[in-house]
A and B are shown apart, each in its own frame.
Chain A
Amino acid sequence: MSSSVDKSANPNTPPIYLDNQATTRVDPRVLEAMLPYFIEHFGNPHSTSHAYGHVAATAVEEARAEVAALIGADAREIVFTSGATEANNLAIKGAAHFARAHPQADRVRDHVVTLTTEHKCVLESCAQLEREGFAVTYVPVEPDGLVALDRLEAALTPRTLLVSVLAAHNEIGVIQPLAGVGALCRGRGVLLHTDAAQAAGKIPLDVEAMHIDLMSISGHKLYGPKGVGVLYVRRRPRVRLLPLIDGGGQERGLRSGTLPTPLCVGLGRAAAIAADEMAEEASRLRGLRDRLHTGLARRVPGLSLNGDAERRLPGNLNLSFPGIEAPSLIEACPSIAISTGSACTSAKVEPSYVLRALGLPDAVANSAIRIGLGRFNTAAEVDFAVDALAAAAARLGSNAGCAGASATPHDL
């Protein structure tokens, strides 16, 4: 399983990958860690009767500890899932269903608070709860994409069970003030769930310092494999959930199904690498990101950045090119892989609900692209992207037809 983007003279060279918020390439070190568990150590980790099972189970437990260490948790608080979507569903519906099934004598808890800009899987889980009779408050964000703590506080009621807030945003990259949200929640006995699919491994997260009770992590967003994620579930004080998927009783009954050993091992290794290299990588990505942003700003009049400039993921940009429809810009730059926003909804034509929630006019929202720089991007790639995007924007802006198509990444 070899090779990153090969920029030799092959005309089929894949485009430069600048969509690291959609998914990331598996780090070769992660792949190396996973391979033995696909091939020779293929045992079912729940087979307790023989050595194949023991070898797999040991590897899963090591991976659990590695993920826990990334967020300051205990290994016993890590529940493996099939991804962040499942983890978010499990956290939100699981907590609500448990509260309904085990009502407290003194206090009804049937209210959930979240943000209007959350990922679809959080919003859809909340919508499902509303259909089941729970109340949900969707708190709007400020024009910079951040939640104002006083607004969030005002949404809390004595019936509030859970607050769910994205750690870092998948489209606009903004980093929410989790520690502040955590303090608000802890003071009121409200559970805090955070979807950290984009944040884990990119920025420091500490479940203790931030008072986080539930946290979703995705493997494929941090250079690990697809098909695996984690829900952190606090043990002290214990957070109780009803499982969405029951059966063999794996993962302490919270998530049944045979654990995919190689995927768990990959996620563990990815977490360990991220923990080791986070500071250095973040500073490198910030440099690349600023180089890209300033390079483009110099050449594209009226270019605007969506979302707070400072409190955002190191590799993320969300930029509006005035007067240019984002899909046309993307089409004009086939040699770079970028997107208009969330991948799961990017096949749809409607403008991003996230950008609308920032109060941006449709014209600005419709001209926004997302650029996600990652571990394997280079300064040369960034410069190439600046050229391709600026040239395309110039031609599209002057209605001069298809641009950028002549440029290819092989020239680097």
Chain B
Amino acid sequence: MSNRTAPRPEASLDWAYLDWNATAPLRPQAAAAMTGALDICGNPSSVHRRGRAARQLVERSRAAVAALVGAPAESIVFVSGGTEANHLALLGAGQERVLVSAVEHDSVLRAVPEAEPIPVDRDGFVRLEALADRLAADPRPTLVSVMLANNETGVMQPVSEVATLAHAHGAVFHCDAVQAAGKIPLDIAAVGADLLTLSAHKLGGPPGVGALVLSGAVDLAPLQRGGGQERGRRAGTENAPGIAGFAAAAEAAATEIDRYRRVGQLRDGLEAAILALAPDAVIVGAAAARLPNTSAIAMPGTLAETQVMAFDLDGVMVSAGAACSSGKVGPSHVLAAMQLPPDIAAATIRVSLGWSSTEADVDRFVQSWAALYRRRRGLALEACAA
């Protein structure tokens, strides 16, 4: 598989970047679109020709981003990223009660701290019967927020069943599709979401831009007030170059979605190699439907932080969990919700691949992992002997 069109970061020619769920390299199509957009220099709300050119660019981009999820252009509200989109959905939809899965991203969990968590099973799937009980127990207007795919484990939720349940109880359904978009085919009608969150930089667009997709007749109160941009749903001068980059990345992601079949094979090969090396290794969520690119792997007895530091020295970039909280100590709420034993959770790292990942990247990771595993095992045996 060639990397002719995919950006291989210069500084990393001999590094293996396997942290795509934290952020993805900019797609060349996005870079080109942004270059063009920067030449326009206009405020999309200005009525002169420069402004109108910027406006056209934003509107064309709106249609392209909408197409990624099979939605009409007018359903897109451009925002500054996934975190803002999740806040806008949960706070702007104006529902009295919010139900969230226990494995949601922090930007959902913290948007409404009093939201009621719905537990997940050991595979990481939201418990539908628990959701049904909660929905039935309280007649107040409710919003249900369940992510499409988890950022730490890649586990994909049964979102269309969640949607059916939510709608049967008159609830609004929000789906955070930040990690899924661009990695699997996505259709908002099939998901059944009334509100769907997208982030550009996770699918090869620039950081600093995202979208909330509205389906149907959800009334949305703005979080950020001011000029009447985005039909009054989100004030602030549109980030036109960023939006153009987002659209180009969305188009490229849709066109090249098949690349993720190969990514899935690479990931499966990686996991098979780890399990062959180390029968005690744990692949979290292995029994669940998962994104093709994500693997949460536990090396029992070795803290995740120790692992990522050792791999970093070998030029292999992975993470101990979500990037936004990777500077924090404390166990992952996702792994805890899946009732993973705390010692296994503390030994779990996230490996995430992308469209330009290569077999060489995977080999590099497996070698580094194996070396650390053998070192740690040697130490453990010495300790036993002593």
A contact residues vs B (CB 8 Å cutoff): 1-3, 14-15, 17, 19, 22-26, 31, 38-44, 46-53, 55, 81-86, 88-89, 119-122, 124-125, 127-128, 218, 220, 225-228, 244-250, 256-263, 327, 330, 334, 336-340, 342-348
Which residues of B lie under 8 Å from residue A250 when comparing CB positions? 324
Given contacts A244-B223, A344-B228, A345-B228, contact A50 B308 (CB under 8 A): yes
Which residues of A lie under 8 Å from residue B337 when comparing CB positions? none
Which residues of A lie under 8 Å from residue B23 when comparing CB positions? 42-44, 47, 258
A120-B226, A246-B87 known; 8 new pairs, CB 8 Å cut-off, are: A19-B50, A38-B26, A82-B81, A89-B235, A121-B226, A258-B324, A262-B206, A262-B207
A295 to B35, CA, bound (A): 36
A82 to B324, CA, bound (A): 17
Q: Find the A residue at minimum CB distance from B53.
A: A14
Of the stretches B4-12, B59-67, B185-193, the one at the interface is: B4-12
CB pair B206 A257 closer than 8 Å: no
Which residue, of B47, B49, B318, has the highest number of chain A Cβ atoms within 10 A? B47
Which residues of A lie under 8 Å from residue B226 when comparing CB positions? 85, 88-89, 119-122, 124-125, 344
Q: Find the A residue at minimum CB distance from B206.
A: A38
Which residues of B lie under 8 Å from residue A3 when comparing CB positions? 39
A2 to B41, CA, bound (A): 12
Could you list some 18 contacts between A and B, CB below 8 A? A15-B49, A26-B41, A39-B10, A40-B12, A48-B327, A85-B236, A121-B225, A226-B237, A248-B83, A248-B324, A248-B325, A250-B324, A257-B80, A259-B207, A330-B47, A340-B47, A343-B46, A343-B51
CB pair A52 B323 closer than 8 Å: no
Shortest beta-carbon distance from B330 to chain A in Å: 12
Shortest beta-carbon distance from A39 to chain B in Å: 6
Which residues of B lie under 8 Å from residue A259 when comparing CB positions? 207
B302 sits at the interface (CB 8 A): no
Shortest beta-carbon distance from B47 to chain A in Å: 6
B43 sits at the interface (CB 8 A): yes
CB pair B312 A51 closer than 8 Å: yes
B320 sits at the interface (CB 8 A): yes
CB pair A247 B106 closer than 8 Å: yes
Which residues of B lie under 8 Å from residue A23 when comparing CB positions? 41-43, 46, 237
Which residues of A lie under 8 Å from residue B82 when comparing CB positions? 257-258
Which residues of B lie under 8 Å from residue A347 when comparing CB positions? 45, 47
Which residues of B lie under 8 Å from residue A41 when comparing CB positions? 9, 11
Which residues of A lie under 8 Å from residue B235 when comparing CB positions? 85, 89, 120-121, 124, 344
Shortest beta-carbon distance from A232 to chain B in Å: 18
A23 to B41, CA, bound (A): 7
Which residues of A lie under 8 Å from residue B320 when comparing CB positions? 49
CB pair A31 B319 closer than 8 Å: no
CB pair B11 A339 closer than 8 Å: no
A111 to B309, CA, bound (A): 51
CB pair B19 A334 closer than 8 Å: no
Shortest beta-carbon distance from B103 to chain A in Å: 15
A15 to B53, CA, bound (A): 11
Contact of B236 among A46, A121, A263, A339 (CB under 8 A): A121
CB pair A344 B209 closer than 8 Å: no
Given contacts A19-B48, A44-B23, A259-B207, contact A124 B225 (CB under 8 A): yes
Shortest beta-carbon distance from B243 to chain A in Å: 9
Q: Find the B residue at minimum CB distance from A80.
A: B208
CB pair B227 A344 closer than 8 Å: yes
CB pair B46 A22 closer than 8 Å: yes
CB pair B47 A346 closer than 8 Å: yes
Shortest beta-carbon distance from B89 to chain A in Å: 12
Shortest beta-carbon distance from A158 to chain B in Å: 28
CB pair B238 A226 closer than 8 Å: yes
A327 to B238, CA, bound (A): 23
CB pair B326 A247 closer than 8 Å: no
